[in-house]
Amino acid sequence: AAAGLCPCRALLARRGGALRALCGSVRGLAVGPETHFGFQTVTEAERREKIYHVFESVAKKYDVMNDSMTLGIHRVWKDILLHKMNPSPGTLLLDVAGGTGDIAFRFINYVRSAQERQLQRKLKHHQNLSWREISESYQEDKFKSLGDSQVVVCDINKEMLKVGKQKAQHLGYSEGLSWVLGNAEELPFDDDKFDVYTIAFGIRNVTRIDLALQEAYRVLKPGGRFLCLEFSHVSNPLLSRLYDLYSFQVIPVLGEVIAGDWKSYQYLVESIRRFPPQEELKAMIEDAGFFKVDYQNLNSGIVAIHSGFKL
C-alpha cells in the first residue's frame, strides 16, 4: 500500500497551499467506503502491528517520558484510581495493559498499608486477652503482609512486561504479583475470576475496544468492578486549545529529545484525539453488560476514570 501512496504524496507535496483544501476534500471521500487514494488507511492487523512496534520502542523510556509529558501528574491520576478502587486485603486484581507495573505496585502498597492498619487496630482491641486466647493466637497462620491479595499484570507487549519485571525486582515487589503475556481482546483467563479489572492508559491502544470490554466482563466475578483510566475529551474550549497546543507542539519534541522517537509520540497524541469521549465510552461499557456505569473527570477531562460493575 505504501508504495502506491508515494507518487500521490510526492505529487501533493509539490503543490502549495491549495493542498490543504485538496487534503480536506479527499479525507471526506475516504471515510466512507474503503479507498486507497492518498491516505494510509490501515487494516486492523496492520494497526495492531504498528502499535506493538510503538510500545516495543518506547518501553525503556516509558516511565521517563510519562513523567516529562505530564510533569509527573500521571502519578496523581494513578493514585486517584487506586483510592477510587479502595481495595481491601484479599482482593484479586487484574491489571490489563499494565506493562511497567505502575498500577500493580500502587495496589500492593495500598493493600499492604490497609493490612497494617487492620493489624494495628486488631492489636489495640486485643490488649486484654485471656492467657488462653493469647496461646490460641500463636497457632494462627503466619501473618500475611498482603492478606491474600494478588495482582496479575497482563500485557500484550513483551518489552513492556520486561521493563515491568525489572522495575519490580529493583523496587522489591515480589509477593502477590504475577506477569502474564496476553491480549486484552482475548484474555488467557477463566470466567469469573477477578474482583477488580483495571486498564490504565491502555484501552486507547486496543484495536477492538468492544471485545476488550466483553473480555473484562467475562473474567470478572459477579460483583466485580471494572475501572478504566484513560485520556478523554476536554470540553472547555480555552483549555482544549492549550491542551492541543501542548500536545501537538511539545510532546513529539519531548519524544524526539528524550526517547529519540518523534513518531511514537505523535501517534500517542493523535490516538488521544481519536478515542471516544466520556459519554460514548460509557455507552460502550454499558453495552458490554456492566451496570452502574459512571465516569469521573480529572483535570477537566484531560483524563477520565470510568467505572462499572458486573452484577
Where do the DSSP E strands lie in 135-219?
150-155, 177-181, 194-200
Q: Is 55 helix (H, G, I), strand (E, B) or coil?
A: helix
- Write out the binding residues for another protein, residues 187-216 only, by CB under 8 A: 207, 209
Backbone angles phi, psi at 212, to 5 degrees: -60, -40
Q: Write the binding mask 9 to 38 for another protein: x where contact by CB under 8 A, - elsewhere.
A: x--xx-----xx--x---x--xx--x---x
**Taking the CA of residue 174 as centre, how many other CA atoms within 13 Å lie in the half-sphere pointing to its CB?**
3
Q: Any contact of residue 126 with another protein (CB under 8 A)?
A: no
Q: Is 238 in the site for another protein (CB under 8 A)?
A: no
Q: Give the integer Cα–Cα distance in Å for 152 and 197.
A: 10
| Residue 42 engages another protein in binding (rule: CB under 8 A) | yes
* CB of 256 vs another protein, minimal distance in Å: 6
Q: Which is nearer to another protein, 22 or 181 (CB)?
A: 22
Nearer to another protein, 70 or 88 (CB): 70
Query: Is residue 303 within 8 Å of residue 229, measured between CB atoms?
Result: yes
Q: Which residue has the cell 477492538?
A: 208
Cβ proximity to another protein: between 38 and 289 the closer is 38
Compare residues 244 and 294 and give the one whose CB is closer to another protein: 244
Q: Nearest distance from residue 266's CB to another protein, in Å?
A: 7
Binding of another protein by 57 (CB under 8 A)? no
CA–CA gap between residue 61 and residue 63 (Å, rounded): 6
Q: Which is nearer to another protein, 175 or 210 (CB)?
A: 210
Residues 248-277 that bind another protein (CB under 8 A): 248-250, 252-254, 256-258, 260, 262-263, 266-267, 270-271, 273-274, 276
60 near another protein, rule: CB under 8 A: no
Count of CB atoms situated within 10 Å of the CB of 98: 28
Residues of 235-264 as b/e, b for ≥16 C-beta within 10 angstroms? Answer: eeeeeeeebeeebeeebbeebeeebebeeb
- Asked whether position 79 contacts another protein by CB under 8 A, the answer is no
